[in-house]
């Protein structure tokens, strides 16, 4: 799938932003990534509300191989092949994927910084300078100058 094909594919959905990602493209609308176009196919964002629709169509979640195992990414599911010929229904699925991505964004709360402790920390103790340390530093400086 190339960029022009994807732009045409989402024409009924509305304007999308297509960026290179992994071995394909990430597709977003309104700043929210909701689809991946990879060698393995087109994958839409899914959640507990939309996964049953993909299962009913016989689609599966995105998977990839590592050296050790197969990794399954349950948040992206393969778009049913029949939708490539029905741009209006594809637009409906894309809207549902965008909504799933937006719901996922809401679930992720920004990390909050822990409140500062009221006790003051003692400063770290200074390292003792010994004759051995002074000799080692002196040797290093002389070696550096001779270069």
13 token code pair: 């959905």
- Residue 24, beta-bridge partner list: 21
Domains of the chain: 3-107 (3.30.1460.30)
Say what the pLDDT of residue 21 is. Answer: 86
* Paired residues of 43 in beta bridges: 36, 78
Question: In which band, very low, low, confident or very high, does the pLDDT at 147 lie, cut at 50, 70 and 90?
Answer: low
For 40-74, the pLDDT digits (tens) are 899 999 999 999 999 999 999 999 889 999 999 99
Give whole-number Cα distances, 76 to 20, 26, 97, 102, 115, in Å.
17, 12, 9, 14, 36
Tens-digit pLDDT profile for residues 78-135 = 999 999 999 999 999 999 999 999 998 887 766 666 555 555 566 666 667 677 766 7
Confirm if 64 and 54 have CB atoms less than 8 A apart: no
Question: Token pair for residue 54?
Answer: 């993909």
């Amino acid at each position: 799938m190339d960029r022009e094909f994807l732009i045409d594919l989402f024409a009924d959905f509305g304007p999308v932003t297509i960026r290179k990602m992994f071995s394909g493209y990430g597709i977003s609308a309104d700043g929210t990534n909701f689809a991946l176009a990879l060698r393995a196919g087109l994958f839409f964002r899914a959640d507990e509300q939309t996964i049953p629709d993909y299962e009913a169509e016989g689609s599966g979640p995105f998977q990839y191989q590592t050296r050790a195992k197969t990794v399954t990414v349950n948040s992206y599911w393969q778009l049913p092949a029949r939708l490539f010929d029905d741009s209006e229904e594809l637009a409906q699925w894309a809207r549902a994927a965008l909504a799933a991505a937006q719901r996922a964004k809401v679930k992720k709360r920004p990390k909050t910084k822990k409140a500062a402790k009221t006790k003051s920390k003692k400063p770290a103790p200074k390292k003792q300078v010994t004759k051995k340390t002074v000799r080692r530093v002196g040797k290093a400086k002389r070696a550096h100058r001779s270069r």
